[in-house]
Structures are given as structure tokens and as C-alpha cells.
């Protein structure tokens, strides 16, 4: 089946506060359905081949902290360890909750994982600027490799100037472990964009490439409206581990 898009009255860019207020009582919704179907756009070899990670003590600590935060947000714990525990927590969220709730769960988890006082200080001392955009890019490649996989900083042009504000993720660790487009969108892309914008005042556009599982995080760039975002119209992989249809929703 082809991807389908159904639009209703809605707000394209709800704030984090709006999510917290509305996600349990959705009113009008905007729905972009990404319906699972077999696809030949990516080979089975690419889907099955995963990088081997040797997590150090910091990586293990960060993975466990985020996994526990997701488990606390869902209210469903698991007995797995390491990255498997995080994937299991995310998989449960994708199977037990609708897409609106999935995004809300990750926002809750990120709230639990990152102390608000620290986020507030960072926002005050680093308002949006060339320095801030480049700082966030470098910080992400160094401190979030355990979640994203190997990445590098790349340049783009903003207001006629070259800046090193792009994080190019060579092959996303989370995506290659789940093989699920819907989980990438609802449990990573959409809530992360909103959380970073609300917490730091820094817009970021996450652009996944589902053909090779790479991704770009473009700091300083507003993400496109849901109606125009190609990622939300992508069919799932034929080896999707979730084995279910997917849809993304935005609340009004």
C-alpha cells in the first residue's frame, strides 16, 4: 500500500507544554500515515548488517540512564541490559501506545534524563548563535555516539556564512537495531526536535536517510511542516521488527 496523508485542523509545531497538556486528551489531529509495505529501496543485507559497538563505562551509564527513563515513562520495565534494554523499552512503547503517546513518552523520558536546572543554564548562557550551533554539533558527536553511532561535523551555509552546524550520522545505531521507520520517527526524530527547541531555544531539523540509515541533524534549521516532511511519508522496511503499520500525529 502507498503512503497516505490525512489532514485535519491542527497546529504544525506544538510546544512541549502543549504536548504535556494535550497528549492524553487529543482534540483535532494531523495524521500522516506511513503504512508498512515491502520495499526494494534498501537491501536485506544493509538491514541485517549491524556495526559492532564496544561501549565504555560512560556509554553504558548513559544507555542505562536513558533506558530507565523510557521504562519509567511507559511504566513497563524489562530485565535486559545495555543497548538491548533501551531497544526493548522503545519497542514496548511502539507496540503498547499510539503514535501520539509514543512521542509524549519520549518527551517525558528526556525530561527525566536531563536535569532542568542544567538545561536552563545552557539556554541562558548559549542563546542561538553561530557559536551555539557549532557547539551543539560538536557536543552531539562526542557525547551521543553511544546512541547515534559514529558521526562527524559538516558545514552548511546560514545567512551567507559557512558554519559547522551539521551532525552527519553515518549509520544510526538506534535505527539499525530496530529496522523500523515508525520508531525512528515517533521515538527519535519528532520528540527530539521538539525537546531541543523547547529546552535550548535551538531549532534542529533531523533528516534521516532510510536508504542507508544515515541521518543529518541540522542545528539552526527549522524542521519542515509535517505536510512537507519526506520522512513522514516513508514506507517501513520489509524487515521491520515492529511488524505493524505506522502513523505520526501532531496535536492542535
Residue 247: what pLDDT?
47
Residue 241: what pLDDT?
61
Q: How many residues does the chain have?
A: 252
What domain range includes position 75? Answer: 4-251
Alpha-carbon 133 to chain mean position:
18
Q: How many domains does the chain have?
A: 1
pTM value is 0.78
CB 157 within 8 A of CB 143: no
Residue 49: what pLDDT?
59
Residue 239: what pLDDT?
67
Distance CA 110, CA 120 (A): 14
Residue 184: what pLDDT?
95
CB 168 within 8 A of CB 152: yes
Measured at the CA of 182, the angle between CA 180 and CA 185, to 5 degrees, comes to 115
Residue 36: what pLDDT?
34
Q: What is the pLDDT along the chain (252 residues), one digit of tens a residue?
A: 333 333 333 333 445 555 455 444 333 333 333 333 334 455 555 555 567 899 999 999 999 999 999 999 999 999 999 999 999 999 999 999 998 999 999 999 999 999 888 888 999 999 989 999 999 999 999 999 999 999 999 999 888 889 999 999 999 999 999 989 999 999 999 999 999 999 999 999 999 999 999 999 999 999 998 888 898 888 877 767 665 444 444 332
Going by their DSSP bridges, the two strands 151-158 and 161-169 should be labelled as antiparallel
CB 233 within 8 A of CB 227: no
CA distances to 61, 86, 95, 97, 169 from 89, in Å: 16, 5, 10, 12, 23
Burial class (CB in 10 A: 0-12, 13-18, 19+), 112: middle
Amino acid at each position: 500500500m502507498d503512503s497516505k496523508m490525512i489532514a485535519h485542523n491542527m497546529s504544525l509545531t506544538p510546544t512541549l507544554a502543549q504536548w504535556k497538556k494535550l497528549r492524553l486528551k487529543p482534540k483535532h489531529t494531523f495524521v500522516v500515515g506511513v503504512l508498512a509495505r515491502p520495499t526494494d529501496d534498501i537491501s536485506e543485507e544493509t538491514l541485517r548488517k549491524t556495526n559492532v559497538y564496544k561501549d565504555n563505562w560512560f556509554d553504558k551509564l548513559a544507555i542505562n540512564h536513558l533506558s530507565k527513563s523510557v521504562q519509567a515513562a511507559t511504566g513497563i520495565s524489562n530485565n535486559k541490559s545495555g543497548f538491548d534494554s533501551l531497544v526493548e523499552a522503545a519497542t514496548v512503547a511502539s507496540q503498547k501506545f499510539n503514535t501520539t503517546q509514543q512521542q509524549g513518552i519520549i518527551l517525558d523520558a528526556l525530561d527525566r534524563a536531563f536535569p532542568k536546572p542544567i538545561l536552563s543554564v545552557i539556554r541562558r548562557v548559549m542563546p542561538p548563535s553561530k557559536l551555539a550551533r557549532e557547539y551543539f554539533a560538536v557536543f552531539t558527536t562526542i557525547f551521543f555516539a553511544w546512541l547515534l553511532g559514529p558521526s562527524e561535523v559538516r558545514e552548511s551555509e546560514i545567512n551567507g556564512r559557512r558554519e559547522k552546524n551539521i551532525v552527519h550520522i553515518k549509520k544510526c545505531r538506534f535505527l539499525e537495531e530496530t529496522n523500523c521507520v515508525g520508531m525512528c520517527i515517533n521515538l527519535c526524530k519528532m520528540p527530539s526536535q521538539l525537546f531541543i527547541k523547547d529546552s535550548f531555544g535551538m531549532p534542529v531539523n533531523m533528516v534521516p536517510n532510510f536508504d542507508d540509515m544515515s541521518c543529518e541533524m541540522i542545528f539552526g534549521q527549522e524542521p519542515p511542516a509535517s505536510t512537507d516532511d519526506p520522512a513522514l511519508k516513508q514506507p517501513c522496511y520489509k524487515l521491520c521488527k515492529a511488524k505493524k503499520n505506522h502513523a505520526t500525529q501532531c496535536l492542535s
